[in-house]
Amino acid sequence: MRVGGEKRPLRQDLQDYDPRQRRRTDEVKYPDHQWDDKDGHYMITLGESLLPRYKILKVIGEGTFGKVTQCWDRHEKKYVAIKIIKSIQKYRDAAKVEISILKDIERKDKNGTSGCIRMLEAFDFRGHFCLVFDLLGMSMYDFLRQNSYRPFSLNEVQIFGKQILNAVSFLHNMGLIHTDLKLENVLLVNSDWQYHRHAVHGRSRVVKRKDVVVIDLGSAIYEKDHHATVVSTRHYRAPEVVLGMGWSFPCDLWSVGCILLELFTGEATFQTHENMEHLAMMEKIFGKIPLHIVSRVDRKESGRYFSDSGELRWSEEATQDSVRAVEKLKPLKSMFDLSREDHRQFYDLCRELMILDPNSRMTASASLNHPFFQLNIEPDFTDLTLLQYPDAPIPPSTMPAPPGHVPGKINSTQVPRNTASETLLQQNPSFHAGLPAGGSETSGKSWLPQDINA
């Protein structure tokens, strides 16, 4: 298990875009105002207003798309998050698409039950599109990281998993494919937590309110629209995307399967940045890639990855590090205690979501009716909070560490997973310790600045 709070690198593997190779026209800001920096970011002054309505309190995230600020809504008397898009034309164009999708979601989710992020308003300010959202809690990845990568209980995985699949089902029914589902893009509505005692993992943070929202529709694609060759962050990328076979709704279900396994184990399953190794890992966990899939791969790609007999060429060119990374993985079934009904059903759900053939993979709507979600799973945390010692450090996990693990550091055999900087509320370490809109590390409760002078 990983221990510590290492910072993961920004995503580097979306091969269809390299910011260092932008065309000259991409660098033209629209319009070219004095309040933009050289990269097209709006130069924010704390305390200033975006329109008369919103007062900027702090910057809470930054990415290639722009910046995210925490603001005070003077009309509604509440805190909001505002995503300020760069003034560069290509990002403005992308924002128009995202705004259109978010408005479409709003029209079709009148009751607010989809589990998808809801945009409150969008406006153009000094050449920057601004998207307004409710201020939510931290991402599930941040919560996992700050809990020293201790796994969530199966009871929690069941609760979170159903909400995520409900959101994906809603999007798919709209004809939308999210394409970038990952723990960073699932936010807790409220990050308040308390300590509980776990039989295996010791004292662990348990979130009080188990409501989540799927965010970042900036990469979503309608099925009828053009599909880029490469989508998804590497650790959650489906085999059909890796093989360049084309993709559709099933790629989202593979990503959800990766998310559920990560919640259950505390670690990303596919810790790699290279296609051949990625495919070898898939075969180690799920078995040999079937010949009928190999036959559907483009001839050029097929020759790169497979022999004439359909065998993966990985062993021909694998480095020692790659061999170790693949060999340490176990078949999917071995991750579960199959003497337990809840584990058997969860194993079956993950297996159905992660079938190598996308045509055979379970759909989002069907997954919601899986027997796993009908079980009454008791929490495996002792109902004993340790709030009388709120400032005591979390002890190291009692789970056995991976071979060669160095406490406080990423294991050299564990590849830091990529992450997209476009995440709506990607947290800035200087902003807070992971609690929503600021927070007390010792109490696990949210706080917000009261003196806003609005």
Read off the pLDDT of residues 226-261 as tens digits, 9 standing for 90 and up.
999 999 999 999 999 999 999 999 999 999 999 999
Q: Which pTM was predicted? A: 0.80
* Six-digit token string for 95: 């924002």
- Out of 352, 382, 412, a domain closes at 382
438: in domain = no
Q: What is the CATH number of the domain that holds 118?
A: 3.30.200.20
Q: Are residues 347 and 242 in the same domain?
A: yes
Which pLDDT belongs to residue 429? 31
Residue 149 lies in a domain: yes
Contact yes or no for 58/152 (Cβ under 8 A): no
Q: Which residue among 78, 109, 134 closes a domain?
A: 134
Does one domain contain both 270 and 366?
yes
Say yes or no: 48 and 73 in one domain.
Answer: yes
User: Is 434 a member of any domain?
Assistant: no
Whether 370 and 353 have beta carbons less than 8 Å apart is answered as no
Residues 290 and 197 both lie in one domain: yes
Q: What is the predicted pLDDT for the residue at 201?
A: 76
Q: Which CATH number belongs to the domain containing residue 298 in this structure?
A: 1.10.510.10
166-217 pLDDT, tens digit per residue, is 999 999 999 999 999 999 999 999 999 999 887 777 789 999 999 999 999 9
Same domain for 206 and 104 = no
Rounded Cα distance between 424 and 60, Å, is 10
More confident residue, 102 or 391: 102
Let me know whether 227 and 89 are in one domain: no
Q: From CA 220, how far away is CA 212, in angstroms rounded?
A: 19
The mean per-residue pLDDT over the stretch 127-143 comes to 97
Tens digits of residue pLDDT in 321-368: 999 999 999 999 999 999 999 999 999 999 999 999 999 999 999 999
Query: How many domains, the chain?
Result: 2
54-96 confidence digits (pLDDT tens): 999 999 989 889 999 999 999 999 999 999 999 999 999 999 9
Residue 313 belongs to a domain: yes
Helix (H) or strand (E) holding 54: strand 54-62
Are residues 354 and 256 part of one domain? yes
Residue 105 structural domain = 31-134
Residues 130 and 146 both lie in one domain: no
Residue 248 shares a structural domain with residue 348: yes
Helix 341-353 and helix 154-173: axis angle, to 10°?
30
Q: Indicate if 180 belongs to the active site.
A: yes
- Whether residue 183 is found in the same domain as residue 281: yes
Is 420 within a domain?
no
247: DSSP letter = -
Q: Which one of the listed residues 180, 216, 252, 342 is annotated catalytic?
A: 180
Q: Answer whether 156's CB lies under 8 Å from 370's CB.
A: no
Is 83 a known ligand-binding residue?
Answer: yes
Q: According to the model, what pLDDT value does residue 35 have? A: 87
8 Å CB contact between 71 and 50: yes
- Whether residue 418 lies inside any domain: the answer is no
Instruction: Give the tens place of pLDDT for each residue, 2-57.
Output: 444 343 433 333 333 333 333 333 444 445 567 899 899 999 999 999 999 999 99
Whether residue 233 sits in one domain with residue 113: no
Please report whether residue 113 resides in a domain.
yes
CA–CA gap between residue 80 and residue 120 (Å, rounded)? 9
Q: Return the half-sphere exposure (C-beta side, CA atoms, 13 A cut-off) of residue 128.
A: 27
Q: Output the CA angle 414-415-419, nearest 5 degrees.
A: 135
Q: 199 and 60, same structural domain?
A: no
Per-residue pLDDT at 439 exceeds 80? no
Looking at 382, 398, 423, which one is the last position of a domain?
A: 382
Q: Would 395 be classed as within a structural domain?
A: no
